[in-house]
Amino acid sequence: MSLLGSLFIISGTLPVPLQAGDDCTTLRVDPRLLAQAAEVWAVAGGEDNPIWPGWNVGDTPLLFYFPGEQEILVNHPTPPEGFEPYAGPLSFPGWKISLRNGETLFRADGQNTSTDVGGIETLVVADTLSNLRQNLLMWGLSDRPAVEKEDALGYSMLAANPYDQMGMILHEAFHVQQFQWGSGKAGNESALLTYPALSVTNNTGFALEADALAEALTAANEEAVWMAALRWLAIRKHRRAELDGQAIGYEDGTEFNEGLAKYTEWRLAQVVEGREPSPSMAWVRGFHGYDDMAFQREALIESMRGYLTGERIVNNDPYGTAPVRFRLYWSGMAIGGMLDVIYPEWKERMMAPGTTLTSLVEEALVPSQEDLDAAFSEVIARPGYEAIVVQKTKLQEAGRRIALETVESILHGEGTLLTMDYSGWSGGGVGFAFTPFGITRVDEDRTIYGQVPVAANFGSTGEVRQTRAVPLLHDAKQSVIHFRLSGSITEEQLAQALGVARLTAEVLPDVSFELPGASAQVKNAVVRLASGEITIELR
């Protein structure tokens, strides 16, 4: 019996789905989320926003959702069809609240993001249980032994941290503002396809940056912040010396987009200190006021260090692009906090074309090359430097081995192999729908996509789409795509799925099928099944 299954038995009850109806008085979304969002709005709403001057978070509509159960829309000027005014007992000053029961815009868990609602970019926040379910699924997918996972499942993991929740709400609201600013400075996710995720120099450099940034954020005086900033800049310049422009541009763009949003969380933990909370916050589990927010800032610094050093693992994958992308959230946060001291006007400059967080630090410091060389020499002379290099070398070796083992499991694992061969297709390149948290570069020709179901698009010719998340291998040199289906498919089953009497070597004008683990809709292809492999050859 699975561990998750035993949890339900211990509780003595079975999970019963909530029933959707037309009741406009009952909140199925966790009302504590609304209280936390209202608290954020009280801090960052208005023209004198202490988080980011010129940004009034009160202008942003909010959509709270519980997948398939209920949506709550707040402060939207024209709620779409199906939303009705909330008629229950809760109220928040200045808030217009509507709700819709049943179908929701988002069916997936944990989608804390923004989306277009009735033509207006709207902040989206998932219900507390939805976020918890997503976290538990990722925890369950870990390859650690069940006993270790059970030991790690403490109550702190199950209970939502209200301070983190408020930071997340502010973070996503800032993305809505970035969308409105429309600066176009976000990183191009395709750069991850060639980013050197396993580079020893690069990963060592990020670990060293973590130390310098932590020193800057905890420095006792301004002079110490400046010295830590100089060490950080020296490390970054040395690390980036081996990166190409595309990789550097990706880092700068992601620090702008995600790093600045994460910075708002850091800033929130500063500006609320000493503030009187609203009475509704007394009902929120774990909330104990704002008398001293040092604990939250310390937690953010600890997380920053963990993700930049690689001690904290993202999506159970220390080798692919998940840690590459996520650490830029935290480096951006820390650089912003450092700039608050060495360049207080930095936010006025940040939106200008070509301006990056790194360039602003350089503007503030104006260091000579001698200054940078001396600072870097000081860093690598510190105890522990060689140990970091050894650690990152082992990471590189393990990552390369795991990537090759994954290729082997795709090509020779269980279940029927589905191969898309577009080597004879004259339609151009293939496009992929993927998550930037699920890319593993095998070599300059081969890439593995994972974490979510992936789609491969061939323009007007059609597409093939995974219906479950399994590793997908793309070999650009051979112009082929491989992934495994769920179970073994017979020739009779394939012919039935294609709607033909039997398989032939003829070109089919329209290939459309649903198989366990995949669907396809392409034109002009030959479909074969041999030795446990379905090949769809585009013509």
> 30-43: b or e for each residue (b if 16 or more CB lie within 10 Å)?
bbbbbbbbbbbbbb
* Structure confidence by residue, pLDDT tens digits, 363-396: 999 999 999 999 999 999 999 999 999 999 999 9
* Structure confidence by residue, pLDDT tens digits, 186-216: 999 999 999 999 999 999 999 999 999 999 9
* Mean pLDDT score, 484-502: 95
Domain ranges of the chain: 3-181, 189-395, 413-538
* Bridge partners (DSSP) listed for residue 439: 449
For residue 451, what are the contacts with CB-CB under 8 A and spacing of at least 6?
Answer: 315, 317, 322, 435, 437, 438, 469
Predicted TM-score (pTM) of the model is 0.90
* Structure confidence by residue, pLDDT tens digits, 260-305: 999 999 999 999 999 999 999 999 999 999 999 999 999 999 999 9
Q: Do 84 and 107 touch, CB atoms closer than 8 A? A: no
Bridge-based pairing of strands 431-433 and 455-457 is: antiparallel
From residue 58, give the alpha-carbon distance in Å to each of 79, 174, 176, 199. 17, 11, 12, 43
Bridge-based pairing of strands 439-441 and 113-117 is: unpaired
* Mean pLDDT score, 74-94: 91
Q: What is the CA radius of gyration of the chain?
A: 26
* Structure confidence by residue, pLDDT tens digits, 298-314: 999 999 999 999 999 98
Q: Is the pLDDT confidence value at 9 over 60? A: no
Of 15, 263, 47, which is closest to residue 129 (Cα–Cα)? 15
